Amino acid sequence: MEIAPEQLAKFQALYREKFNIELTPQEALEKGLSLLTLMKAIYLPMTDTDLKNVTDRHRTLPKPT
């Protein structure tokens, strides 16, 4: 897996904005690859059936007062 230099620079900027920490290019690459690896492991697109199930469950929940 590779990260383009432009994407790496954007990740560094986002990290600096969020955590007020300046990452070196090597640190950004390591953290970026770790994040991508995690997302690849846990992210699954929602199917139409999944969406319908979630929507149906949401409709049956009591309304907040």
Total structural domains in the chain? 1
Q: Which alpha helices (DSSP H) does 1-65 contain, by range? A: 5-19, 25-42, 48-60
In a domain, 50, yes or no: yes
pTM more than 0.85: no
In a domain, 52, yes or no: yes
Cα–Cα distance between 37 and 11 in angstroms, integer?
Answer: 15
In a domain, 28, yes or no: yes
Range of the domain at 42: 5-59
Please list the pLDDT of the chain residue by residue as tens digits (65 residues).
789 999 999 999 999 999 999 999 999 999 999 999 999 999 988 899 999 999 999 888 887 77
In a domain, 65, yes or no: no
In a domain, 24, yes or no: yes
In a domain, 64, yes or no: no
Amino acid code (one letter) for 10: K
Q: Among residues 39, 34, 28, which one has the least CA distance to residue 4?
A: 28
In a domain, 40, yes or no: yes
